[in-house]
Amino acid sequence: MNAGTQSPALPFFLRPAGLMVIVGLLTVLKLYAASNAHFVEDEAYYRIWGLFPAVSYYDHPPMIGWWIAAGQAVFGDTIFAVRFLLILTGLIGTLALWRTASILFDARVAGWAVLFFNSSLLVGIGGILATPDAPSVFFWGLSLWAIAELSHSRNANWWLMVGLMAGCGLLAKYSVLFLGAGIVLWLLWVPEARRWWTTWQLWIGGAIAIVCFSPVLYWNHLHEWVSFYKQFGRAGSGGYTAKYIFEFVGALVGLLNPLIAVLAGLGAATLFRSFRRRENAASLLILTALPFILYLLYHSLHSRVQANWPAPLFPTFAIAAAVFVGGLRADQLFWKRFAAGGVGLGVLIAVVVQLHAVSPITGQFARKDPTFQLRGWPEIGEAVRAFVSEEGAAYVATTSYGLNGQIDYLLKDTVPVVQLTERIRYVMAPEPDMSMFGKPGLYVAEKRRNKEGELRNSFSSVEKLGELARKVDGVRLEDLVVYRIEGPTGPVFEPISYK
């Protein structure tokens, strides 16, 4: 079959029209959940980034902040504004994935790749969450698409697009650095790819990527490379241990969708046979993923790998699974049903969890519920607002970035909300008006993270006002404590630390 052609034998759900219907319905569901489900803590924190766009930030490069700022410019300071561009780019990324697989393989593989990607649990459930993973997945996938177009057309100008997409990926998350290493390996491994070393477009494309990334480099230069230290200083910092690697693999399989993970493994074995022959498509997929996979495995031998870190690899995993299924014979019904079951399982879980995120089916799972971070915040906001009114508080103080983000959004029309610790997180925003600390304020903290002792070292009057229970369907998730504070006796903020 010629790359990009549509076989008459394709079932409707693998044809472009069928894929549009399936992805369109899932997108409508995401729009509903994105509009009505509350923030998780990280999203509430990144919302503040959107209010103060900068060239970079302490935790990550700036792309998610820029996306949020764009949404806020159109839809105001709302939950939907924070998530809007994620939904839009999810559609564009799916189209790019279909085109990539069509060029590298055929329309059957492309159709399955789209289904597997959109039925992975990370995309199906987490696809509405405004975190740096979303733009990193998007631009990693677009970089692969541009290289596929390059290989198909043999037009060296595509290197300029590769550089732009990879550079934008670097503005999303540092993990995209590993994609650059993979591209170099592909250029060295595949004989037909070596010709690109002599083209000026390759080098200009690399320069474009560096220019895109330069704002992040400049910001880190001004701030003692604190962001790089935070993200890469953890790798290999402890001794070797095997206790995290199984957790990493388990989380990866779970977020990919266990059935799709099996197919991706079988597809990787299929691709490896072609890789040994240095075939272009298989080599591209394997080598662009390999450096990041090796890094994650190395990291997992020292400390915990967060479940979302491998997210940029999910387009590659989806194509790998599709390569296996797309190559099945007509009589291999077990694996075809297995693949359909994987898609069905992923879609079913996504539908249930998205609806549950908006309107809880039950609260009995409490903190084991994957949506627990969304729960109970509007009620907490109302309670804190009542305390502000009763005590005549001029501000609300916090000591954790997630809670600070939540309270800042819930009280956005009343009093300033300020985190007393980790001030490096907020260098992009104007410094708080110090005169407000001469008036009574509130301190709000999760009970498990309460810093009452440190508070008493900084304020002459610290009075506990009460506790608030964050609940879902009447089930307690956690307790928050509220204090009235007044009369600073020394520095209010912890000194900014770059290490």
Task: Write phi, then psi, for 404 (nearest 5 degrees).
Answer: -60, -45
- Residue 417 corresponds to which tokens in the numbers above? 């909300």
Three-state DSSP class for residue 480: strand
**How many angstroms separate the Cα of 71 from the Cα of each of 34, 42, 133, 469?**
13, 17, 17, 32
Three-state DSSP class for residue 442: strand
Q: What is the pLDDT of residues 73-121, one digit of tens each?
A: 999 999 999 999 999 999 999 999 999 999 999 999 999 999 999 999 9
Q: What is the pLDDT of residues 258-303, one digit of tens each?
A: 999 999 999 999 999 999 999 999 999 999 999 999 999 999 998 8
- For the CA atoms of 447, 453, 458, 461, the dihedral, rounded to the nearest 10 degrees, stands at 80
Task: Write phi, then psi, for 257 (nearest 5 degrees).
Answer: 105, 115
- Residue 374 corresponds to which tokens in the numbers above? 């969304």
pLDDT at 4: 45
Selection from 395, 117, 145, 385 nearest residue 257 by Cα: 117
**Residue ranges of the domains in the chain?**
12-358, 373-488
On the question of pLDDT at 213 being above 50, the answer is yes
As a whole number, mean pLDDT of residues 198-215 equals 98
| Intra-chain end-to-end CA distance of the chain, in Å | 56
As a whole number, mean pLDDT of residues 155-162 equals 98
As a whole number, mean pLDDT of residues 400-411 equals 96
**Least confident interval from 92-101, 205-214, 290-299, 487-496:** 487-496
pTM: 0.94
Q: What is the pLDDT of residues 427-459, one digit of tens each?
A: 999 999 999 999 999 999 999 988 888 888 889
Q: Give 124's pLDDT tier (boundaries 50, 70, 90).
A: confident
pLDDT at 492: 86
Selection from 379, 383, 387 nearest residue 483 by Cα: 387
337 residue type, one letter: R
As a whole number, mean pLDDT of residues 403-429 equals 95
On the question of pLDDT at 335 being above 50, the answer is yes
On the question of pLDDT at 197 being above 70, the answer is yes
As a whole number, mean pLDDT of residues 190-201 equals 97
Residue in the block written with tokens 């009447």: 474
- The count of residues in the chain is 499
Q: Which residues of 171-187 are buried (b: 16+ CB within 10 A; e: fewer)?
A: bbbbbbbbbbbbbebbe
As a whole number, mean pLDDT of residues 464-469 equals 96
446, β-bridge pairs: 480
Three-state DSSP class for residue 441: strand
pLDDT at 234: 61
For the purposes of burial, counting CB atoms within 10 Å of the CB of 436, is it exposed (0-12), middle (13-18) or buried (19 or more)?
Answer: middle
Going through 309-424 in order, the beta strands assigned E by DSSP cover: 396-398, 417-419
Q: Give 5's pLDDT tier (boundaries 50, 70, 90).
A: very low
73 residue type, one letter: A
Outline where 396-461 has alpha helix (H).
Answer: 401-410, 452-458
Cα–Cα–Cα angle for 197, 171, 425, rounded to 5 degrees: 150
pLDDT at 235: 60
Q: Give 368's pLDDT tier (boundaries 50, 70, 90).
A: confident
Pair 195, 187: CB distance under 8 Å: no
CA–CA distance, 496 with 226 (Å, rounded to integer): 11
pLDDT at 1: 40
Mean of pLDDT over the chain: 93
On the question of pLDDT at 402 being above 90, the answer is yes
Pair 87, 31: CB distance under 8 Å: yes
Task: Write phi, then psi, for 168 (nearest 5 degrees).
Answer: -65, -35
CA–CA distance, 27 with 33 (Å, rounded to integer): 10
CA–CA distance, 466 with 62 (Å, rounded to integer): 38
Residue in the block written with tokens 């490379």: 225
CA–CA distance, 394 with 385 (Å, rounded to integer): 12
pLDDT at 206: 97
